[in-house]
Amino acid sequence: MLVFVIRRLLQSALVLLAVSLVVFAGIYAIGNPVDILLPDDANETERQAAIRALGLDRPLLVQYGIFLLKAVQGDLGTSFVYNIPSIELIFSRLPATLELAMCALFISIAVGIPLGLWAGLRPGTKTDEAIVTGSILGFSLPSFWQGLMLIMIFSVTLGWLPSNGRGATGTLFGIETSFATWDGFTHLLLPAINLSLFKLALMIRLTRAGVRETMPLDFIKFARAKGVSETRIVLAHVLKYILVPIITVIGMELGAVIAFATVTETIFAWPGMGKLIIDSINKLDRPVIVAYLMVVTLMFIVINLVVDILYALLDPRVRIKGQTE
Amino acid sequence: MPDEALLTVRDLRTHFETRQGVVKAVDGVSLDVRRGEILGLVGESGSGKSITGFSILGLLDAPGRIVGGSIRFKGEELVGASPERMRALRGREIAMVFQDPMMTLNPVLRIDTQIIEAIQVHERISTRAARARASAALQRVGIPSPDERLQAYPHQFSGGMRQRVAIAIALLHRPALVIADEPTTALDVTIQAQIIFEMQKLCAESGTALIWITHDLAVIDGMGDRVCVMYAGRIVESGAVRDVISSPAHPYARGLIDSIPSRNERGKRLSQIPGAPPTPFSLPQGCPFRPRCGRADAACLEVPQETTLRGERRVRCFHPLEESV
Amino acid sequence: MNSEISPTAPAASSSTVDESRLRMLWREYAERRGAVVALIVCVVLLAAAILAPIIAPQNPYDLSVIDIFDSRLPPGSVNPAGFTYWLGTDGQGRDMLSAMIYGLRLSLFVGVLSGLLAISAGVTVGLIAAYAGGAVDALLMRVVDFMLGFPAILVALILLAVLGQGVDKVIFALVMVQWAYFARAVRGTAMIERNKEYVEAAISLGLSRPRIVFGHILPNCMPPIIVIGTMQIAHAISTEATLSFLGLGLPITEPSLGLLIANGFSFLLSGLYWISVFPGLLLLVTIFSINIVGDRLRDVLNPRLQK
């Protein structure tokens, strides 16, 4: 197990290195970094100072080394717009995004898995067909338009829920969260639903496919031959069996949800890092873009690592293989 | 009949309605099983022998369905019995052992979970007591240090060991009947012999009757009391194992026996049955064996009925082989 | 004596075999009525997009026919010249219906073209990986894994942030986020096919490598390419709309459906629903029908994939 983790960590470091190279190439090598890193109104003296300060007169490889060295120390530049270190800016927005992403993921799991089970156990019926068609619809709804429709229906027409911003937050179990206040909760609801629908469709399809693949297997028939009830077969045998791939996908999708949050956050004016990146792109606040990319990559890597370890813990077959290796 | 019949199957018809047409997998099967006896059910793959077994247990997968006939177990009609009643019988009165031991145990559940659930589904008994029973059951089928092995997952067992676990589960409640669907086909030859020996012994100990489904007449030769030979969904010949093997009456049974290697003389070419089994969608008119039969004539364009030769010998042929009549 | 089980009719010529296979596929496809409807919708939308200059009531790019005084009219309004705006007008006084048909034209163009380019790129990489094997294969698949590890929308967003706006840049970004799916699928299928007997037979017959790859292996990779391709085109259309909505995709001078929706966003809160809702519905219907077709294709083609 330890060997497995160490090997995965090494792989992760390699990926991070690759991303840093791509980001470096994208932001620093293409176009003039001075133009990118300095505000437009900088004068010639400032430009020359910047070139020296950034070491742009040195070889490219050395420059990359300096970039890496600074990055390792957590220095990814300073935001032009906010004039604070970009990494700090990202981290200040991170909790709001994580809260939104977690909430959306929870909705998609809590609704998607039961619906997927329901459909998968009744293949070919009207219910099954309706759930499957619904899931395709969920895939097809463009997230931004669906958000607009949610706002139009629930905020403008019905006036039930607020349409933008994060509400008041409070402290719950030592974490600052929207769940602590009613205002925060109502603000969270629409964006979370909006963000969850796509993943909900995915959960339905995944669960349904898993159930349909599992039901004809011999061990299900053997459990029936033992006299085990259908309820227990579904809950103990099928669910446990399909949980492994589902957990894997959930883990990987957490990253995708965070990425997709950019769209939802923009529409609902949710003050997370997704909205920050769109604002930064529009204002050409490149240090923030660089910091966002590195932070998101790091998050992806951590998530993937956690998923792999969880996978090994859940699936006894993988666990044993890891031990013997 | 001196012994009371445990199971009486009469004119059983199990059909599969598929897109390509109706498959008459079992088409008028009648057989009897007495208490404690071993009945061999022999036939090529697709002859309907496994479907017969699943029909008795009420474990048919859609679109399979019993469309006619009767299955009486201890005097109780099982065709049309409620699912709850069937579930109460399964595992307690009628148990089953499957062909592929690699697939009969749920790979993500520990052995103890799978044995204990089989006990508790039929008996109100504490988990601790059930665990003790599970351990004893493993001991009985010859698994060393059973208490430790209970903690293991199926993939930590060899194929032969897994089949022993499956047998232990099948015999937990000392059922009156065990249906064994080619339980040794997937195993090594040496382990095959052990499993056959032990199953025979265990069934004799608990007075359990056994339906041994196989494509290999040689297996039945050593262990069975009586044998039924199936072809294209029907029983074509039945009787005491010794009689059928020494002097088969049906040309198909003759062909099967002649193709057993050990029964042929050294250096002599193995005889084989010409042609291939008919596809389930296009059964030939009349006797389904007619196209492959050397004795077929115009009479065989009608479906032959089962006739009694003498005693328990029954055959479904217009031209049974002379020597056995 | 055994006429019943004698081998079936003499081998039919390959064209009739293909024809009957296609007919069989179609019959299976048509078992779902909804899938047939979706296919018809796709064809109608494609025809509308191609024929946009002929069927659109107004040319939304022609400033001479657009009157700013007609802006924000509700659906069904008639202007003084007697022209009926069936779906209303947008903030600049453009006929919504016409703008939507042109928007659809642009969205489909971007989606289909990027899909086709991504297929070509992905198939090339996949085949090279499968055929070269070894280090080349390992390296290419690492790149593919890397690409697939990041959500498409994020990669496209960053690419466009660096590249700037424009149809060509959007198409480039969409190809970049899609090709890896095809590469992986094609490599997977090609690896399986490569080890089959008929390829060995073709090699022993002395056929050239390209001939084996394009004549034998590629045709067998077609089912997954078709299925993934359909889904990816829907995905590309959706992604393009999202990027344009965020102001990073197509320039304002070329309003795709996403941009039309974005334009209506500001009016939505004041109750002028039609500017956002109708283009959105059209976008949804487009993506939904393509996905239904793709889903059905997967069901129909899959059993053959496994054989």
Beta-carbon separation of A218 and B88 below 8 A: no
Residue A40, domain member (yes or no): no
Pairing of the two strands B209-214 and B38-42: parallel
- The tokens describing C189, both together, are 């299928």
Calpha distance C178→C193 (Å, rounded): 23
- Residue in chain B closest to C3 (alpha carbons) equals B291
Beta-carbon separation of C2 and B292 below 8 A: yes
Q: Which chains touch C (3 or more CB pairs under 8 A)?
A: A, B
Name which of A214, A222, A229, A235 to mutate to probe chain B: the one with the most chain B Cβ atoms within 10 A of its Cβ: A222
Residue A238, domain member (yes or no): yes
What sign does the CA torsion over A272, A278, A283, A285 have? positive
3-state secondary structure of A7: helix
Longest dimension (CA), chain C: 89
Sequence letter at residue C154:
L
Are both B260 and B313 inside the same structural domain?
Answer: yes
Are both B184 and B113 inside the same structural domain?
Answer: no
Name which of A17, A20, A145 to mutate to probe chain C: the one with the most chain C Cβ atoms within 10 A of its Cβ: A145
pLDDT tens-place values along chain A, 325 residues long: 677 778 777 877 887 787 777 777 766 555 555 665 666 666 777 777 777 766 666 777 777 787 778 777 777 777 777 878 888 888 888 888 988 998 999 999 999 999 999 998 888 788 888 998 899 888 888 888 888 888 888 887 787 877 777 776 766 666 777 776 777 778 888 999 999 998 899 899 899 988 988 888 889 999 999 989 888 999 889 998 888 788 878 877 887 888 788 889 988 888 888 888 888 877 777 778 888 888 888 887 788 778 777 777 776 665 544 443 3
Residue C65, domain member (yes or no): yes
- Residues A19/A294, Cβ–Cβ less than 8 Å: yes
Q: DSSP assignment, residue A233?
A: I
Are both B189 and B74 inside the same structural domain?
Answer: yes
Q: DSSP assignment, residue B21?
A: E
Sequence letter at residue B47:
S
Structural domain span for residue B108: 103-172
Calpha distance A199→A210 (Å, rounded): 16
CATH number, residue A126: 1.10.3720.10
Closest chain B C-alpha to A233 CA, distance in angstroms: 10
Residue C300, domain member (yes or no): yes
Which of these three, B156, B172, B188, is where a domain ends? Answer: B172
Beta-carbon separation of A262 and C146 below 8 A: no
Q: Give pLDDT, residue C43.
A: 92
Other Cβ atoms less than 10 A from the Cβ of A207: the count is: 26
A60 Cβ contact partners less than 8 Å away, ≥ 6 residues apart:
A29
Number of Cβ pairs < 8 A linking chain B and chain C: 14
Q: Identify each DSSP E strand in chain C by its residue range.
A: 77-78, 84-85
- Residue in chain A closest to C277 (alpha carbons) equals A149
Beta-carbon separation of C4 and B275 below 8 A: no
Residue B24, domain member (yes or no): yes
CATH number, residue B303: 3.40.50.300
CATH number, residue C78: 1.10.3720.10
pLDDT higher than threshold 50 for residue C305: no
Q: How far is CA B224 from the centre of its chain?
A: 12
Q: Give pLDDT, residue B1.
A: 41
Nearest residue to A306 (alpha-carbon basis) of A250, A231, A243? A250
3-state secondary structure of A121: coil
Report the residue count for chain A. Answer: 325
The tally of domains found in chain B comes to: 2
Please indicate if any CB of chain A lies within 8 Å of the CB of B121: yes
Tokens 């400032």 belong to residue: A46
In angstroms, how far is the first alpha carbon of chain A from the final one? 9
Beta-carbon separation of A277 and C157 below 8 A: yes
- Residues A86/A77, Cβ–Cβ less than 8 Å: yes
Residues in chain A closer than 8 A to C287 (CB atoms): 140-142
Q: Give pLDDT, residue C303.
A: 53
Residues in chain B closer than 8 A to A221 (CB atoms): 59, 61, 98
Nearest CB to B90; choose among A226, A315, A316:
A226
Residue A68, domain member (yes or no): no
Please give the mean pLDDT across all residues of chain C: 80
Residue A123, domain member (yes or no): yes
Q: Which residues in chain B show pLDDT less than 70?
A: 1-4, 262-270, 322-325
Q: Identify each DSSP E strand in chain B by its residue range.
A: 5-18, 21-34, 38-42, 64-73, 76-77, 94-97, 177-181, 209-214, 226-231, 234-240, 307-310, 313-315
Please indicate if any CB of chain B lies within 8 Å of the CB of A144: no
Closest chain C C-alpha to A171 CA, distance in angstroms: 31
Nearest CB to A226; choose among B91, B108, B109:
B91
Nearest residue to A118 (alpha-carbon basis) of A208, A238, A2? A208
Residues in chain B closer than 8 A to A229 (CB atoms): 87, 121
Residue B98, domain member (yes or no): no
Residues in chain A closer than 8 A to C158 (CB atoms): 26, 289, 293
ipTM of the complex: 0.86
Calpha distance B49→B46 (Å, rounded): 8
Residue A261, domain member (yes or no): yes
- Residues B130/B120, Cβ–Cβ less than 8 Å: yes
pLDDT higher than threshold 80 for residue C63: no
Calpha distance C119→C305 (Å, rounded): 19
Q: DSSP assignment, residue A25?
A: I
Beta-carbon separation of B284 and C4 below 8 A: yes
- Residue in chain C closest to B278 (alpha carbons) equals C5
Calpha distance A118→C205 (Å, rounded): 53
> What are the residues of chain C with a beta carbon less than 8 Å away from any beta carbon of chain B?
1-2, 4-5
Sequence letter at residue B50:
S
3-state helix, strand, coil in chain C (%, to 5): 75, 0, 25
Structural domain span for residue A175: 89-324
> Tell me: the pLDDT tens digits for C183-230?
988 888 888 877 777 777 777 777 777 777 777 778 878 888 888 899
Residues in chain A closer than 8 A to B211 (CB atoms): none
- Residue in chain A closest to C264 (alpha carbons) equals A148
> What are the residues of chain B with a beta carbon less than 8 Å away from any beta carbon of chain C?
275-276, 278, 282, 284, 291-292, 296
> Tell me: the pLDDT tens digits for C37-54?
989 999 999 988 888 888
Residue C10, domain member (yes or no): no
Residue A55, domain member (yes or no): no
Average pLDDT over residues C8-14: 41
Please indicate if any CB of chain C lies within 8 Å of the CB of A260: yes
Are both B167 and B181 inside the same structural domain?
Answer: no
Are both B214 and B283 inside the same structural domain?
Answer: yes
Task: Mark out the alpha helices in chain A (DSSP H runs).
Answer: 2-23, 33-37, 44-54, 60-72, 86-120, 126-140, 143-150, 182-214, 218-225, 230-232, 239-267, 273-282, 286-314, 316-324
Structural domain span for residue C276: 25-305
Closest chain C C-alpha to B309 CA, distance in angstroms: 28
Residue C17, domain member (yes or no): no
